[in-house]
Amino acid sequence: MCGIIGCAGHEGDTVPVLLNGLARLEYRGYDSTGLAVSNSDIHVVKREGELDELVETVESEIEVDGVAGVGHTRWSTHGKPSDANAHPHTDCENRVAVVHNGIIENYQSLRDDLRSLGHEFESNTDTEVIPHLVGHYLDAGSSPKAAFHRAVEKLEGSYAIAAVFESRKEVMATRQDSSLVLGVGDEATYVASDMTALIERTDSVIHLDDGEFAFLSPDGYTIIDEDGERQSKAQTTIEWDVEEITKGHHDHYMIKEIYEQSAALRECLRNRSTTDRLISLDTFDDYHSVDRVHLVACGTSYHAALFGAQMLRERGVSAQAFLASEYAMTPAPVQDGTLVVGVTQSGETADTLAALRAADERGARTLALTNVVGSSAARECDEALYIRSGPEISVAATKTFASQLVTLTLFALHSSSTESNHETRRLVSALDELPGQIQRLFDTTTAGEIASRLADGSGYFFIGRGLQYPVALEGALKMKEITYEHAEGFAAGELKHGPLALVTDETPVFVSAVGDNETVRKTVANAEEVKARGAPLVAITDGTSSIERLADEVLRVPSTSRELAPVLVNVQYQLLAYHTARHLGRKIDKPRNLAKSVTVE
């Protein structure tokens, strides 16, 4: 949600730097864009709609540049998408321009107070109170730095803020519960909400902590804490490169990232099993003290958490998965030996961070299972376990979900006190084969053809049992996210308890039935119920069960272990969603109303 880019030190080139950074932030989801540059005065340009609208306006209107500037992609929370509501916002005298991610919870009372002092507002946003507060303190005689600090002290809520002042060659920034990183270049310094905005400028970043302020200039940067004490912080090297955040020859980031899953899983598995095929994780060695596990997550990551919880339970570890937004409000009881695992791709998901903080307050040990080194979750938790997927640009998660499933499998094996060495070796062997199996699936899939035949369905149902149930939920979510069509995932046995009333001959039902055990046979029986109602039936199978005799369409996956079959099934579901959305002409990488990183609760 929303994106921030700022720079100090690119005199005569600030606007192109900002526009390039905004282009790299488009994937987060947005409905308007804007930028401000500081010279003898402040020049602001902002537009509702796509970044192209801003670029066109800048090319036709802007006549000045400056040494310092800030830019923003907005995802609306307060006030509809419009030019007026786009960021940056300024004070009454146009002395300061501010961009902001997050929500200012006390904005209405601040707005009322400022109006009573004569301030006039031009937008419906919560953000606009920030520059007006700064202006108020400037009027009272404060220096720009002091005015910025005093204004931030008045704010309640979550925020990442960057600001520029007239006639000053610096960017001021701060954060509270919202990601913000500094980039350190040879001739300029940068600030951004996301490392992807900085990759082309620098590979050295510093993660700001809550309450810290950063002051960027062409000569460097200064960081202070909320008490004004100067801080010395280590720089982190970004290991991603530019090629990883471009589409290459692909039409969409989503299909590129689907195809990257083989490589992502190889990286996920690298150096995580020993020569005798036992698990060796790079963090979290003290697993013997864990008696119970709470996994907290949102969206796709929640489906991974459901999978992980079952994997743990099957190995004798008491485990539950919780929606992070609910856990944050009503945390489950924490006892000695409780580990709370936050599953979050970005490490910045607001609901998941809130759940982890609630767990920490109750005395739980915490672990971040995330993709981003140095993210808020990774820094705040007691330990971090990385899924190693590399950058994911499409809003719809694909390769990160596969890596979450595999990392949680490793974690379950690592944490088990009952798993035999034979069983561990069996699964490690299957894990080693998985990347190659995914690659073979790409070579043989008919998902595109099936999607074109079923794209006119009135709704889509996905069913599975056991470890296939979370993947049924994820398959439905992918279909919803990028096709805008109704889709639901169900535990296969639950169809007859209500949802079957919705099944018609225009409701394709996708059934995952891999292997031929009792669970699969029960799933086939559920498929019989669907077939009796005339629904088109699509089977995802390795060919060993009897599901094909019922199916109207078949998608094959390679044979693998029961535990890892969901990973392969999910790849077919991703391809089905992608090709259906393409057939329907949807905006695949940036689906409407959605954001990549959800940084508000």
Q: Is the dihedral of CA 193, 196, 202, 208 positive or negative?
A: positive
CA 37/CA 335 separation, integer angstroms: 53
Closest CA to 367 of 270, 296, 291, 273: 296
Catalytic residue among 46, 256, 399, 596: 596
Cα separation, 55 vs 62, whole angstroms: 10
End-to-end CA distance of the chain: 11
Reply yes or no on whether 2 is catalytic: yes
46 is catalytic: no
CA dihedral of 500, 505, 506, 512, whole degrees rounded to 10: 60
Count of Cβ atoms closer than 10 Å to residue 233 Cβ: 14
The token pair that represents 409 in the structure block: 């499998």
Identified catalytic residue from 2, 7, 268, 381: 2
Give the C-alpha separation, 367 to 411, whole Å.
11
In angstroms, the CA 411 to CA 285 distance is 10
Are the C-beta atoms of residues 335 and 292 closer than 8 Å to each other? yes
Among left, alpha and beta (phi > 0; psi -120 to 50; other), residue 499 is alpha
499: DSSP letter: G
Q: Residue 577 CB: number of other CB atoms within 10 A?
A: 31
> What six digits make up the tokens of 568?
């392969």
Measure the CA dihedral 257/258/263/268, to 10°.
Answer: 90
593, burial (CB in 10 Å: exposed 0-12, middle 13-18, buried 19+)? exposed
> Among all residues, which ones are annotated catalytic?
2, 596
